[in-house]
Every structure is written in structure tokens, then in C-alpha cells.
Amino acid sequence: MNSRAKSEALFAESLNHIPGGVNSPVRAFRGVGGQPFFAERAAGAHMWDVDGNEYIDYVGTWGPAILGHANPAIIEAIKQAADKGTSFGIPTEAEVRMARLVKACVPSVEKVRMVNSGTEACMSAIRVARGFTGRPKIIKFDGCYHGHADSLLVKAGSGALTCGHPDSAGVPPEFTAHTIVVPFNDEAAVREAFAANDGQVAGIILEPVPGNAGVYLPRKGFLEFLRDITAANDSLLIFDEVMTGFRVGLDGAQGRFSITPDLSCFGKIIGGGLPVGAFGGRAVLMDVLAPDGPVYQAGTLSGNPLAMAAGIAALEQLQSGEVYERLEALGAQLEAGINAAAKSAGVPVVTQRIGSMGCLFFTDHPVHNLADAMRADRERFKKYFHGMLAEGIYFAPSAFEAGFLSNAHTEADVDATVVAATKVMRIL
Ligand code: KE4
């Protein structure tokens, strides 16, 4: 590992111009201490910083890089689209192709609208739910993160949790008065929420596999329970698949768990690394949206041609290959190696994974919700993070995030990661 002198100089300069020196809080390394390196370039599963240090990357730009960085087909698609112009503000064929592609991959989506981030996708889906039902309340789960829209910054995960602001300043209590927060995997709490708000709940929004407080899985039957109780209460089930969509399978967590939500939110992978979000679902719900219906939602760059080209190139590759089988094998190899490394060092860990997304908790008990995740040893995580970074392995700089494999990772990359973990676990 060379010095990080150029990154340090850039960060010092950045602090003069950008809040916290970063354009998104979790990048500031506040969850692990120290300061971020500055990326110079990335290709495949590897990233190089401005000082020439090379890393095996398990952040994958927080999920989008499922095919690896600088994927040739995505780069070529962007170049060809850029030669025709970067934005038109009027419909393009690429938007129709993208919509048809999403519908082909995710059968619950009958109509879909493109936006520019996961935040926009989730806030818009909630507006559709409230507009269609005429009801004000939304149920969410603590530790789940659905972007930074005001009404959702309540016990939110990801950077909000990392930076200690799960209930953000600047959001008047009136803006979250209709957001009901309950623990994930807690059926009784969901029943109580409906009973206490009879006829008021527009819907439930959840990450079907939460990945913003580490990763934990729905208990057997929990998603089916949510599907049943929303239907029984004329409420809508909204799957935030910004992270799980096209990650845990071509048809996301809803396909993996055979649950049909009413609305779904997408982001990350769907843009191939460019700014794209989307939300979609039953046509009768989506038709409440302007210009047909009374629910307004808009975006200057929604359906941007470069972003569509990148996203289409990504999804078409995912549609065609055996990517998910390979990602499952790589995920299993990494998980087994990390567990063996921890066992050899006598360090209690719990690894939790679905396909190519997962996390490592320094704890000796399974994690089923935010409270469990909060009990894990964060000091040990910090040491592990920096120890691995020094070995050229870049995991998410927060105990409250997920790690991601890509189709560009090799078995050799995973072997090197396990060798590093075996060394680092011994000094925790
Ligand atoms: P964006 O607005 O950041 O595109 O998406 C918000 C969002 C919505 N739903 C889920 C399940 C998400 O995971 C996210 C964003 N994820 C975080 C990382 N876990 C983004 C990283 C960041 O904030 O810089």
C-alpha cells in the first residue's frame, strides 16, 4: 500500500467546498474513522485510487456494478448514445425499450416510470399509494432505508444510521406524523399498527431483504404475512428493490420469495452506474400519475438517453447469461472463507448473505432486525475495515451497509480476500 498523500490533499481541499468533503455522507468514512481515498479509475472488480493503490472492490458503487466496473458493453452503449446528444426532454425509443425490459424481468410491473434515484422512486411510489387509497399513513421498518425524502427519514438505515441521524434534523414532526415505524420481522407490531390506524394505512414499504443496517433476511412467512395483511386492509404492499432488484435475481426479491407486491421501486443496477431509479406496478395504480391522473410526479432528466442506454446494456447482459448462478457460487466461496478465517482467529462473527449481497457482523447471535444489528461490535468492525483496506480489500466503510460481489470478481480475487481476512482477523 502506497501512501495516500494525493487523496489526503484532495480531501483537505474538498472540505473547503463540499459539506463533509463528500457528495453523500456514507463516503466520508465517519462509520469507520479515517478519511476516504479518492478513486482514479475502476475496471472489473478492481479500483485504483489517485495514489496508485489498487483495491479489490466489494462496494460496487453501493450496488450498481453487478457486472463490474467499466463493463465494455455498458461503456460502448453510453458512447454511442452520447454521440447522438445527451438529453432531449421528449420521449425516446430507449425509454420504451427500458420499460419493456423491466416488465419482462419483473412480472408484477404492468407500468413503470423512470426517475433519477432510488429516493425519487420510493417517494413517488408512496405518493401513488396515498393518491390511490386516499389514505395518509405509511408503515416502514426501523433500519430500512428508502432514500432521503422527508417522510422516510424516520429510524432510517444506511448513512442516516452510520452518521447517527436516523431521524434527520430539518424534518418538521408534521412531515413524519404519518410514518409508522415498527421492527422488521415483527408480525405482532405490524398487526398493532393496522389496528391502531384502522382504515388509515395507505401501504407498507420495506426492503424485502434489508441491506441498510447490514443484511438480514425476512423470517419464514414474514413476507407472505405482509402480503396478506395489506390485502386484508385494502392497503398496498410496496417492495423497495432499489438494492435487491436485479441483484438477488433477475426478478429481484419478489421473484426469489414468490411474493407479488403492488408497487416496486428500483435503482442502482437499473442504471448501469448512471443515475436511474424507477417505480412501477399494477397499471390501475400507476395510472393515477400525471398526465393521466391527479398524482403529480416529474423529472427533467427522467429517462435520460445515456442512462437508458447504460441500464439497457446492463439488464440485457443480466437477462442473457448465467450471472446469478456464478454470483451465488462466488458468494458462497467468500462467505465460507470469511467464516473459516474468523474461526481460525477465534473471533465470533455472523455472516448473512443472499446471493451476491451480504455482510459480516462481529457478534455471536443471528441478526433479524435493527436491534440485533446494533448489538454487533462496531469497534471490531472498524479495525477489520481498515485492516482489510491496508491489504487492498475495500469493503463498505460502515457496519450498517451491505457488501457486493460482481460478475467480474474471480475466484482468485475471493481467495486473496480470504487470505487477507485470515491475517486481519488475528489482530482484531
Ligand atoms: P438513492 O437515492 O441513493 O439512489 O437510493 C436510495 C435508496 C433507496 N432504497 C434502498 C434499499 C437503498 O439502499 C437506497 C440507497 N442505498 C445507499 C447505500 N445502502 C446509497 C449510498 C449512499 O447514500 O451514498
Q: Are residues 124 and 258 in the same domain?
A: yes
Whole-number pLDDT of residue 160: 82
Closest Cα to atom 6 of ligand 1: 147
Secondary structure of the chain: what % helix, strand, coil (to 5)? 40, 15, 45
Q: Which of 298, 318, 338 is the last residue of a domain?
A: 318
Assess whether the C-beta atom of 23 lies below 6 angstroms from ligand 1. no
Ligand 1 midpoint to CA 182 (Å): 20
- From 140, 155, 268, 382, the catalytic residue: 268
The sign one gets for the Cα dihedral 217, 201, 159, 67 is: positive
Assess whether the C-beta atom of 145 lies below 6 angstroms from ligand 1. yes
Assess whether the C-beta atom of 62 lies below 6 angstroms from ligand 1. yes
Among residues 354, 322, 332, which one has the least CA distance to residue 411?
Answer: 332
Q: Which of 270, 301, 318 is the last residue of a domain?
A: 318
Q: Which of 318, 342, 369 is the last residue of a domain?
A: 318
Q: Are residues 169 and 62 in the same domain?
A: no
Atom of ligand 1 nearest to the CA of 267: 4
Among residues 359, 356, 360, which one has the least CA distance to residue 409?
Answer: 356
Render pLDDT for 61-112 as a digit per residue (tens, 0 to 9).
999 999 999 999 999 999 999 999 999 999 999 999 999 999 999 999 999 9
Ligand 1 midpoint to CA 119 (Å): 7
Q: Is the peptide bond before 208 cis (omega within 30 degrees of 0)?
A: no
Ligand 1 midpoint to CA 118 (Å): 6
Assess whether the C-beta atom of 22 lies below 6 angstroms from ligand 1. no
Q: Are residues 135 and 256 in the same domain?
A: yes
For the chain, report the end-to-end CA distance as a whole number of angstroms: 20
Ligand 1 midpoint to CA 147 (Å): 6
Ligand 1 midpoint to CA 108 (Å): 22
Total domain count, the chain:
2
- From 240, 372, 377, 413, the catalytic residue: 240
Beta-strand ranges (E) seen in 288-425 are 350-354, 357-361, 393-394, 403-404
Q: Are residues 32 and 53 in the same domain?
A: yes
Alpha-carbon distances of 144 from 134, 171, 397, 412, rounded to whole Å: 24, 18, 18, 33
Q: Are residues 235 and 360 in the same domain?
A: no
Ligand 1 midpoint to CA 110 (Å): 24
Q: For the chain, list residues with pLDDT below 50.
A: none
Atom of ligand 1 nearest to the CA of 120: 2
Report the CATH number at residue 241: 3.40.640.10
Q: Are residues 188 and 298 in the same domain?
A: yes
Q: Are residues 124 and 264 in the same domain?
A: yes
Instruction: Determine the Cα–Cα distance for residues 11 and 26; give it in Å rounded to an integer.
Output: 15
Alpha-carbon distances of 18 from 4, 168, 410, rounded to whole Å: 20, 19, 36
Report the CATH number at residue 23: 3.90.1150.10
Q: Are residues 171 and 292 in the same domain?
A: yes
Closest Cα to atom 21 of ligand 1: 62
Q: Are residues 262 and 374 in the same domain?
A: no
Render pLDDT for 350-366 as a digit per residue (tens, 0 to 9).
999 999 999 999 999 99
Residue range of the domain that includes 131: 72-318
Q: Are residues 186 and 284 in the same domain?
A: yes
Residue 208: CB atoms within 10 A of its CB come to: 28
Instruction: Determine the Cα–Cα distance for residues 248 and 324; give it in Å rounded to an integer.
Output: 8
Q: Are residues 116 and 38 in the same domain?
A: no
Taken as a whole, the chain contains a residue count of 428
Q: Is 145 a catalytic residue?
A: yes
Q: Are residues 190 and 109 in the same domain?
A: yes
Instruction: Determine the Cα–Cα distance for residues 31 and 25; give it in Å rounded to an integer.
Output: 10
Whole-number pLDDT of residue 427: 93
CB 399 within 8 A of CB 376: yes
Which of 24, 207, 212 best tests ligand 1's pocket when mutated (most atoms within 8 Å of CB)?
Answer: 212
